[in-house]
Chain A
Amino acid sequence: MITLDCLGQKCPLPVIALAKQIRNIGIGEVIRVLADDPAAANDIPAWCRMKEQEYLGSPEAKAFEVRRIS
């Protein structure tokens, strides 16, 4: 699993990093995004919904997991 360290980055940088990085993984693989911007917890799931990717949830504080499904 790839981990994307976006700690300290303001919105929308973590989502931009996620969108760029997801092209580099295979379908079915998972990315973990580390982000502490308060908008990330809202905008990462919203991005998944808009771009038809699967949001797996937040396994711990400031961490969000996304599976590439399209």
Chain B
Amino acid sequence: MGVPAGAAAYLDAATAAPLHPVAAEALVAALADGWADPSRLYAASRRAQQLSEAARAAFAEALGVRVDEVSLWSSGTQAAQAAVLGGLAGRRRQGDTLVHSAIEHSAVLHAAAKGQAIEVGVDQLGRLDLEAWDAAVRTTGVALASLISASHEVGTVQPVAAAAGYCAEAGVPLHVDAAQSIGRHPVPPGWSMLSASAHKWGGPPGVGVLVVRKGVRWISPYPQDDLYRPGATGALDLPAVVGAAAGLRAVLTEERAEAERLSALVDRIRERVAATVPDVEVVGDPDDRLPHLVTFSCLYVDGEALLHALDREGFAVSSGSSCTASTLRPSHVLEAMGVLSHGNVRVSLHRGTTSEEVERFLSVLPGVIEKIRKEAGM
């Protein structure tokens, strides 16, 4: 691969955001005591327990919920799947069917594939079809609904409040997968369960958070001691949990200012890509969107070739094109929206992203695309 042509710019925060300095500091500090198992009856264990309790309290405060509603998991995927599978198990008597949008994260779709499911479509901007959602949650045998707070691939914010309203009318609990929103964009209330992932907000990888509100019936889908209390089945990475909690607190104090700054950079990308690259489709809602994420598709461009070419220029981005996926299928999100899936690039920004990096990306991109098209004879 060689040395990138310019200073490296990491533009894939939606996959994993760089560690927030406050998270890093807390993680390192917690290594001294966080190695011990917090459930034993000796002094080292009590110190670990104190760390664990402080972290849980910080999560509860940051998310505006009770401490005993917070559970911790080994990843955002695990937390989302625990929500779906545990939520379904808890409502077995009411039914066995999950309602979900067509643009959920694969974590939720994989859990959905374990049983009965009704999928609800989206429009071309990637926004949930609320009328179809209303009809779906009122279907006999529906036990649970799951909705992503905002699309992880195109950034479109979902009508969570309205969807939660329909769920409440139908008496169906709602799980919101808020992995892309927490620390970036407010999530409206009305949900029964909410899951998130620390490395999306600048916490360490390997920490997932699940909130199960009081009164929501949840039964563990995994073999463990207390089947009614959500929590990871094995030992947690406690230093990472402490780092994640500290990181979230720091991120929330910066949330509004960062959202404003990054959203202006995303506006700039949306405008300039559309103006300087021919035959390009900038997808997702231009206004009602996550502040830090933008996606576009370029006609006649191989997504894998584009990612490699951008990597050589020093840019880390991701793609929903099939040639870049382990499954070799195009992104189910782009398919559900009916927008072009090849030549797809997702750019997602973070607190370290500078205006200069975005400017350099925008100046390099048109030439990179032109070259790939020329090679394909276009």
Q: Which residues of A contact B (CB under 8 A)?
A: 10-13, 15-16, 19-20, 37-39, 42-43, 45-47, 50-51
Contact = CB atoms under 8 A, between A and B. Distances in A.
Contacts of B180: none
Contact of B321 (A16, A20, A39): A39
Given A10-B323, A38-B328, A42-B334, A20 B377 contact: yes
Contacts of B376: 12-13, 16
Contacts of B297: 46
Contacts of B378: 16, 19-20
Query: SS class of chain A's interface: helix, strand, loop or mixed?
Result: helix
A37 B335 CA distance: 14
B300 A11 contact: no
A12 B335 contact: no
B299 A11 contact: no
B339 A46 contact: yes
Query: SS class of chain B's interface: helix, strand, loop or mixed?
Result: loop
A45 B338 CA distance: 8
A38 B303 CA distance: 15
7 contacts: A10-B323, A15-B300, A16-B300, A20-B378, A39-B330, A39-B341, A43-B340
A53 B300 CA distance: 16
Given A11-B323, A39-B322, A42-B334, A19 B339 contact: no
B281 interface: yes
Contacts of B300: 12, 15-16, 19
Given A11-B322, A11-B323, A50 B341 contact: no
B114 to A, nearest CB: 23
A43 B338 CA distance: 8
